[in-house]
Amino acid sequence: MDGTRLREGREKRNWTQQRAARALGVTQAYLSMLEKGRRAVSAVLARKARKVYDLPATVLPLPLERSTSEWSSRTRDFSADLAALGYPGFAYLKTKAPQNPAGVLLGALDQANLDARVVEGLPWLVLAYVDMDWDWLVRNSKVRDRQNRLGFAVSLASEVAARNNDADLGQKLRHRLAILENARLAREDTFCHDSMTQAERNWLREHRSPVAAHWNLLTDLKGEQLAYASP
């Protein structure tokens, strides 16, 4: 979150700086400096501002470039992360504090193996938070050679948007795909299912969808199979 987003949140509430400062627990002078970009918005204040101003999870802090591996930890509970961000497939789980969806998506895509139910939720993240920090996400996916997985997730999201007749969302997703197209890798990969057998790999090379083949991924997942896609 930067100062501009902080100011926009206050103006959305139609609050004065004095009222907002009291709600955020800072002085009016300090809030003024934050909104003007003269001070950086801390992670703690960003989380508080999200609650006070009722802002989307995309304003939450993202990990520093050097610490993205922490968000890719095998001990992360991505089903809980998805539930906290509103994914209906895990609505039954106890909610926890949400994380920035871009960080959750990158962390999940960086896994060698994920539960199939979590994998199905990744295109939903793209759909639900299409305005997440795309520059950060693409840059860090390239660092970790996960741009093909990201491209496939966006492609599936684009298929869902088309089935749902959401033209505006579809246009945004096509723009995202155009950016990733230039970074597409030639090497073969899976969609977070590296433990599959050689027999499964051979079968998928012959039976995967054209979209999966385009992104050089061994997977049988298709947009039409996702529960949140309209029939």
Distance CA 30, CA 11 (A): 17
Tokens, residue 106? 């990158």
The residue out of 34, 55, 76 marking a domain boundary is: 55
Q: Are residues 71 and 13 in the same domain?
A: no
Residue 154 pLDDT greater than 70, yes or no = yes
Q: Are residues 77 and 149 in the same domain?
A: yes
Q: Are residues 116 and 179 in the same domain?
A: yes
* pLDDT tens sequence across 26-77: 999 999 999 999 999 998 999 999 999 999 999 999 887 655 555 555 568 9
What residues form DSSP beta bridges with 193? 113
* pLDDT tens sequence across 118-141: 999 999 999 999 999 999 999 999
Helices and strands in the chain, H and E counts: 13, 2
Give the percent of the chain with pLDDT over 70: 94
23 pLDDT tier (thresholds 50, 70, 90): very high
230 falls within a domain: no
Phi and psi at residue 228, to the nearest 5°: -90, 5
The residue out of 55, 75, 93 marking a domain boundary is: 55
Looking at residue 149, its pLDDT comes to 98
207 pLDDT tier (thresholds 50, 70, 90): very high
Predicted model pTM = 0.88
Nearest in space to 152 (alpha carbons), one of 79, 204, 214: 214
Q: How many domains does the chain have?
A: 2
Residue 229 pLDDT greater than 80, yes or no = no
Residue 196 pLDDT greater than 70, yes or no = yes
Task: Look up the domain containing 215 and give its range.
Answer: 65-225
Q: Is the dihedral of CA 94, 99, 103, 107 positive or negative?
A: negative
51 falls within a domain: yes
What average pLDDT score do residues 104-114 get? 96
- H or E stretch at 190: strand 189-190
Q: Are residues 22 and 87 in the same domain?
A: no
118 falls within a domain: yes
Q: Are residues 183 and 91 in the same domain?
A: yes
Q: Are residues 75 and 170 in the same domain?
A: yes
Q: Is the dihedral of CA 175, 225, 147, 205 positive or negative?
A: negative
Q: Are residues 13 and 122 in the same domain?
A: no
Distance CA 167, CA 107 (A): 29
* pLDDT tens sequence across 176-194: 999 999 999 999 999 999 9
Which residues, other chains included, contact 163 with Cβ-Cβ below 8 Å and sequence gap of 6+? Answer: 223, 224, 229, 230, 231
Residue 167 pLDDT greater than 70, yes or no = yes
Distance CA 125, CA 79 (A): 12
Q: Are residues 87 and 13 in the same domain?
A: no
Distance CA 38, CA 183 (A): 35
231 falls within a domain: no
What average pLDDT score do residues 210-221 get? 97
Amino acid at 134: W
On average, the pLDDT of the chain sits at 92
Q: Are residues 133 and 191 in the same domain?
A: yes
The residue out of 55, 77, 97 marking a domain boundary is: 55
20 pLDDT tier (thresholds 50, 70, 90): very high
Q: Are residues 75 and 43 in the same domain?
A: no
CB 89 within 8 A of CB 121: yes
Nearest in space to 204 (alpha carbons), one of 193, 183, 111: 193
- In this structure, what CATH number is given to the domain that contains residue 11? 1.10.260.40
